[in-house]
Amino acid sequence: MRSTISGLVTAQRTLIGALLIGILLTVVACGSASPTPPPASPTLGALSQSTSAPTAPPTATGFPAETLPPLPTVGTPSAPVTPTVGTGTPTAPRVTRTPKATTAPLPPPKPAALSGKFAYDVYLGADYKLRTIQVATVSSTAGAQILTSASWPALSPNGARIAYLNWTKGGLFIANADGGGAIGPLYISPGVCCINWSRDGNWIVFADSPRPNQPGGPIKMLKVDGTYKTIVNLNVQGNGPSFSPDGKQIAFSGCLPNTNTCGLIVAPADGSGVTRVLTRDNGGNAEWSPDGRRIVYQATADTGNRQVFVINADGSGARKQLTNGKGNDGQPAWSLDGGSIFWRSDQNGTAWAIYVMNADGANPRRLIANAPADPNLWGWESISVAP
């Protein structure tokens, strides 16, 4: 009996031991198995391959400008600015369109009653001493001689002084408006010509030819500060420079290099030498209107002679011819209010006289009957108007 019980106990112990060993083996097996990894997350590279990155919108530059040969300038234009593209949602391109050209220059203001005075060259003979400057008021019928051996008169904006070329001493001078109190030469050169003041009276611009009687050359500015030592080379060449009313630009006559194409050119007054062509009609003697919107000048007409024209200062629209003489008309200058234009005419080849007309070409009338111009230089001479 005891042996039977003992055998049962031993069998139970053996069974329990086997069960414990089985459980232990199961636990060890579960702990050593590698878990199945979760699906891999997509990398940035994978995303960039599956989804295209937004592209930058094109930069709108407007319609292409007319291609021009390089102008005779010195200096390197500044490099174009590369636009920075933001990281936000791209917007639709914004196109800058060229304004539709008008058929005529902008309308001038209505002429007011003339006021002020004007200066002009007078040619009395080939001798330099016989090249003089006269000044007249708008109500005069004749001018008064204020300087001898002088040309290229330019009255200061307030009318108190006059700049000019002294032929005898070969340089740029400034005097009182009556010709007295002359100082100079402020710039020494036998070929100073085509002088013009900035509207604030702080600068004088001129062309510097290396030879007399042959106007044209490097265009320079002289600072009117009492010391007259600051000279800025604008790095352009031509004739008849004229300041814009704000003093930031210069309009002048020039030619495209290695061509016979000449006309009006505009350059900044900072000396960078960057230029834009305004006309291709052999134009010259440009002068900005007081409001800065138009430029009056002389150019060859269809008939082959020189006439007075006006054009929008930004180059838009067509030029408008203001005079129609059978001879030559030129040297235009704006009145103080911009409503009238002075000019000199050879009166169809009979004799030179000074006229004035409304800024639209209407109502022409003669002011000075006897105003002889230099037969060789009249195309570069000019009339200067001041209060």
pLDDT in tens, 12-61: 454 444 443 343 333 333 333 333 333 333 322 222 233 333 223 222 22
Mean pLDDT (whole number) for 366-371: 97
Residue 272 · residue 235 · CB < 8 Å: yes
Segment of 79-83, 188-192, 194-198 carrying the highest mean pLDDT: 194-198
**Total H helices, total E strands in the chain:** 2, 23
Mean pLDDT (whole number) for 166-187: 97
Which is more confident, 319 or 33?
319
- CA angle (20 as vertex; 14, 22 as ends), nearest 5: 105
Mean pLDDT of the chain: 79
pLDDT band, residue 256 (cuts 50/70/90) = confident
Closest residue by Cα to residue 242 from 210, 278, 188: 278
The 217-223 sheet, strands edge to edge: 191-197, 203-209, 217-223, 231-243, 249-255, 262-268, 276-277
Segment of 34-38, 191-195, 271-275 carrying the highest mean pLDDT: 191-195
DSSP 104-156: SPPPPPPP----SEEEEEEE--SSGGGEEEEEEETT-SS-EEEESSEEEEEE-
Residue 237 · residue 72 · CB < 8 Å: yes
Which is more confident, 105 or 154?
154
Which region among 4-8, 267-271, 292-296, 319-323 has the lowest average model confidence (pLDDT)?
Answer: 4-8
Residue 133 · residue 150 · CB < 8 Å: yes
Count CA atoms within 13 Å of residue 213 on its CB side: 7
Q: Which residue has the tokens 């002009």?
A: 120
Residue 331 · residue 283 · CB < 8 Å: no
CA distance 170 to 150: 10
Residue type, 157: P
Q: Which residue has the tokens 């960057």?
A: 274
pLDDT band, residue 108 (cuts 50/70/90) = confident
pLDDT over threshold 70, residue 168: yes
Neighbours of 325 (CB within 10 A): 19
Give pLDDT tens digits for 115-155: 999 999 999 999 989 999 999 999 999 999 999 999 999 99
Closest residue by Cα to residue 359 from 264, 293, 268: 293
Report long-range pairs for 237-240 (Cβ below 8 Å, ≥24 apart): 237/72, 237/207, 238/207, 238/265, 239/193, 239/194, 239/207, 239/215, 239/284, 239/380, 240/194, 240/207, 240/284, 240/285, 240/286, 240/380, 240/382
Q: Residue 40: its pLDDT value, please?
A: 34
Residue 62 · residue 98 · CB < 8 Å: yes
3-state secondary structure of 210: coil
Mean pLDDT (whole number) for 306-330: 95
pTM over 0.85: no
Greatest pairwise CA separation for the chain in angstroms: 167
CA distance 154 to 226: 18
CA quadruple 246, 247, 249, 255: dihedral sign? positive
Q: Residue 106: its pLDDT value, please?
A: 79
Q: Which residue has the tokens 């000044």?
A: 135
Q: Residue 260: its pLDDT value, please?
A: 81
Segment of 17-26, 64-73, 321-330 carrying the highest mean pLDDT: 321-330
CA distance 320 to 239: 22
pLDDT over threshold 60, residue 382: yes
Q: Residue 34: its pLDDT value, please?
A: 36
Backbone phi and psi for residue 17, each to the nearest 5 degrees, phi listed first: -60, -40
How far is the first Cα of the chain from the last one, in angstroms, to the nearest whole number? 151
CA distance 288 to 278: 13
CA distance 81 to 96: 17
Q: Residue 261: its pLDDT value, please?
A: 79
Beta bridge partners of 367: none
pLDDT band, residue 103 (cuts 50/70/90) = low
3-state secondary structure of 15: helix
Q: Which residue has the tokens 């006439």?
A: 307
**H-helix or E-strand spanning residue 48:** helix 44-50
Q: Residue 251: its pLDDT value, please?
A: 98
